Amino acid sequence: MRTKQKYLASIFFVTFAILSCTVGDNVRKRETEQHQQVTQELLYGRLLSKEILSRYKVYNNPEASVYINKVGRGVALFAGRSELTYYFAILDSETINAFAAPGGYIFITKGSIMAMENEAELAAVLAHEIGHVNNRHIMRQIPLPKGNNIADTIASILVAQGTVVSAAMNETVKKASTLLFENGYRIQDEYEADQSAISYLIETGYDHRALIQFMSRIESIKKADAKLQVYHTHPPTLDRINMINSFLKEQNSASITGKLVTERFQKFKTSIH
Amino acid sequence: MKIRLLSFLIFFSVMPLFAQTAYTTSLKTVIYSEPSLGSEKVAQLTQGTAITINKTHGKWVYISSASKNGWIQKAFTSTVKPKGKVSILGNANRTSRMKARERASSDVTAASARGFMQTENSKGRSRPNQEALKFDPADIDKMESVTLSEDELITFLRQGGLLD
Amino acid sequence: MKKLYTFLLLSIFAATDILASGLSTCDFNYINDLVGGRATGMGGAYTAISDDPSGAFYNPAGLVYAIDNQISLSVNSYKNRKSVYKSVIGSNDYEQEVSSFYPSFFGVTQSFGQVKIGFTFATLNNEILDQDSYFDDLTLPIDGTDAPTTYNMNYNITENTILAGPSVALFATDNLSFGLTLYIMKKAKQEIALQMITYEYNGAKRYSQDSTYITEDVWAIKPVLGTQYMPNKYIALGLSISPGFVLSHTKDTQLFRKPYAGGNDMNQTNPDGDPLITFKTADNDIDDSKIPTLVRLGAAYYPSNKLIFTTDIIAHIGSQNLQNDVENTFNIALGTEYYLTASFPIRFGIFTNFANTPNIDKSKANQEAHTNLLGLSSSLSWQTRNSSITLSGFYQASEFFGISPLGEGEAQVYAGSTTVQEMQMTLYSVSLTGSARY
């Protein structure tokens, strides 16, 4: 009996040892893979941001910039994906629109902010954009070109601190531009971003109803002023509101409360007038 | 009996290696009693807490942690332990000097340069080269230069009455 | 006519002296060519920039700022140098024109981790002189009569100096970088001169013949050690030093001279007892050959991504340039680059190219020509993120619209004579460069 016990014990130790070694290697491998994937995302997003910044001028106001980054990054703390640094910028445009590029580059127009009443609404719109980033909507719909290009590109970024971009990458970024400025995301992705936004708002402590409130207000503004340029790349507002309401119902969270935070937002809004 | 005990031990020592080990990624992640945002809050986990994912239900996962078990949103978990930010920006000092050497042509693609000769034919889009002209690398630099520590963000949230 | 007579007689008796004192003056100014299309456009004031493959020549420390990997080729360069010696043949000027078409530069830079590696090849000088002179209406006064004379001279010089070698550059701190280029320098020069004079005297047609062949080869090591400092993102300062170490310098000569009085007997002598016919060959290893040290000090100002202002001080320190006695020479260059649109940069530069020979002392003879040149340069590129084509060129001259801003050029054309002639020189070059980033 003792020999048999010893035999089984040794199998136990060997199996455990082998498996833990493999697991250890797997962990390291996963970490490197994740690092690589995120680096690719950042490259993609940065290039796409350059496209966005070619069409819109940045609204240059350092204090406003800090405020919007505080709100945005504050929400991001509760949105998962701790490996990303989110960058927020205000675009100098009277239109009502917001854009997100992979890796966490998020842009919102001055016109959008002017149409908001409180910080929760701002957080809601930023949370929606963070939702696009965290769910990798652009990466999934217009993926990076396959093949050696990317490995070489990443290598040269890490090594040469340059911005080598292959023709294939250029094409990809151009397609992503078209998505942002003309065609829009897939409807499913917009609904998913809305749902993520609700989650992030609840986790952070903002009043999640701000999202629907802002959307409704924009809808009425649009009806009143047909010339005002509002994001035309989103699905109809009513559908979005309905989807959100179904989600809230399913999640039993319609009655969850949160903060609106009006005072410091109004100060911010006045400062950028 | 002893054989059984040993096989039991082997089985259970190996088991955890096959169930999914993961970590929480948000600053604080709430564990719920049901896979629903409206259900009772069981506990709050700090960032980087090791958890085991036992089953999945839509966008939620049922997890067990050192302290409590319950449901959390899958989006707030990762198989990789949160380590810090991933960046492609490199050393700030050196990068700013290298960037100073980049000339205005750095963002002109061959396609947009060709656009200088041709006219875009549809949709009335502005010609790409004009967009390249408008882009000022300082804009993206400024965007990336805003640094805020986690403490600053937490203070900001608290001041807004957002963190309990 | 008298002057021509003197010229010819002296050239008959002292052919090699004429050649040695060199109507060809490419050795008497250091800046015979500018390396790289972008640097050329900015007058060669590149020491504080040097952030592309041509930087290996000016200041390898700048290579750390070369973005991504780069390759640059200038395979179509045309250069033309014209020297005019005023009133040398009677009231006529004597002109010498040299031109050539050659590949002037090739370079690559590549990143290896934190270090930049490069390899470059540059043609510093490439000249082919092919000159034929024929005069058949001359007379030589012999024994009181005027003998009809023809004069025939064929003069060929080819000269080529190239540099080739690897470079390495790295950051020491975030704003200070160092670089080293290890160039091998090779200079090859060949001179072939044939002079033939025929004249009629006492019913006989006599001739006098002279031929000279010189071939010269120099191998040297010419490292470039450089540093660049960027105190902030607007200013760059650069310093590079390039000494030369001659590894071998050989000069093989062959001289054959048969004056009119000589026959076929090589032992004939003149009344003084000197041999009439000369046939000499010599293979010489020149032991104490030196190359001056080149020191470049530069500054550049980068106010935006569209504009650069840059200036260089270029010093050649040394009293000997191979076999020529030279003086320390200081030159200055100024340049600017401006992006008219994101794809069209234009560049302008102005630079000096002082003679490295001493000022001509009117009491001495056989001195080397001394002509200072002022240069203007420009280049235009069609540029995208990853590639560019550049058309560049410079024009150097001793005189612009009748004014010699750096003084009149002077030469002593006649061997053994203290007379000084005015000399004018123009030197221009056009180059097409293609570059890519990858």
Q: What is the architecture, at CATH level 2, of domain B2-78?
A: Roll (2.30)
Judge whether residue C308 has pLDDT over 60: yes
Q: Do B108 and C233 touch (CB under 8 A)?
A: no
ipTM of the modeled complex: 0.83
All CATH 2.30.30.40 domain ranges of chain B, comma separated, are 2-78
Chain C residues in contact with chain A using a Cβ-Cβ cutoff of 8 Å: 67-69, 111, 113, 385-386, 437-438
Contact status, residue C56 vs residue C70, Cβ threshold 8 Å: no
Q: Is B41 exposed, middle or buried (0-12, 13-18, 19+ CB in 10 A)?
A: exposed
First-residue to last-residue Cα distance in chain A: 86
Whole-number pLDDT of residue A160: 33
Q: Which residue range is the domain that position A109 belongs to?
A: 38-271
Shortest CB distance from B101 goes to which of C67, C306, C345?
C67
Least CB–CB distance from C342: residue in B91, B94, B108: B108
pTM above 0.90, yes or no: no
3-state secondary structure of C118: strand
Residue-wise pLDDT for A105-160, tens only, equals 999 999 999 999 999 999 999 999 999 999 999 999 998 877 655 555 554 444 33
In chain A, whose CA is at the least distance from the CA of B160?
Answer: A261
Structure confidence at residue C277 as a pLDDT band (50, 70, 90):
confident
Task: Over range C78-85, report the average pLDDT.
Answer: 91
Confidence of residue C141 (pLDDT cuts 50, 70, 90): confident
Report the pLDDT averaged over residues C49-58: 96
* A241 located within any domain: yes
B98 vs C67, C383, C384: nearest CB: C67
**Within 13 Å and on the Cβ side, how many CA atoms surround C312?**
31
- The DSSP bridge pattern shows strands A87-91 and A105-109 to be parallel
State the pLDDT confidence band at C260, using cuts at 50, 70 and 90.
confident
Indicate the length of chain A as a whole number.
Answer: 273
B164/chain A closest Cα distance in angstroms: 8
C386: contact with B, CB 8 A cutoff: yes
Sorting pLDDT into bands at 50, 70 and 90, what band is B163? confident
For C422, the domain range is: 2-437
User: What band does B130 get if pLDDT is binned at 50, 70 and 90?
Assistant: very low
| Burial of residue A76, with CB atoms counted within 10 A of its CB: 0-12 exposed, 13-18 middle, 19 or more buried | buried
Chain C residues touching A164 at Cβ < 8 A: 68, 386, 437-438
Residue carrying the six token digits 């966490």? A104
Count how many domains chain A has.
Answer: 1
| Whole-number Cα distances in Å, C195 to B18, C131, C226 | 97, 12, 48
The answer to whether residues A228 and A221 touch, using CB atoms and an 8 Å cutoff, is yes
Residue C396 β-bridge partners: C375, C427
pLDDT of A11: 65
Backbone angles phi, psi at A54, to 5 degrees: -80, -25
Average pLDDT over residues C226-241: 96
CA distance C396 to chain B (A): 29
Mean pLDDT lowest for which of B145-154, C25-34, C88-97? C88-97
pLDDT at C385: 78
In a domain, A18, yes or no: no
In-domain check, residue A21: no
Please tell me the predicted confidence (pLDDT) of residue B129: 45
Output the pLDDT for position A126: 97
**What residue ranges of chain A have pLDDT lower than 70?**
1-2, 5, 8-25, 147-167, 226-232
Contact C383 B103 (CB under 8 A): yes
pLDDT at B42 over 50: yes
Instruction: List the alpha helices (DSSP H) in C199-330.
Output: none
**Is B103's CB within 8 Å of C65's CB?**
no
| Domain containing residue C48: CATH number | 2.40.160.60
Residue A97 lies in a domain: yes
pLDDT-based confidence at residue C19 (cuts at 50, 70, 90): very low
Subunits that touch chain A (at least 3 Cβ pairs < 8 angstroms)? B, C
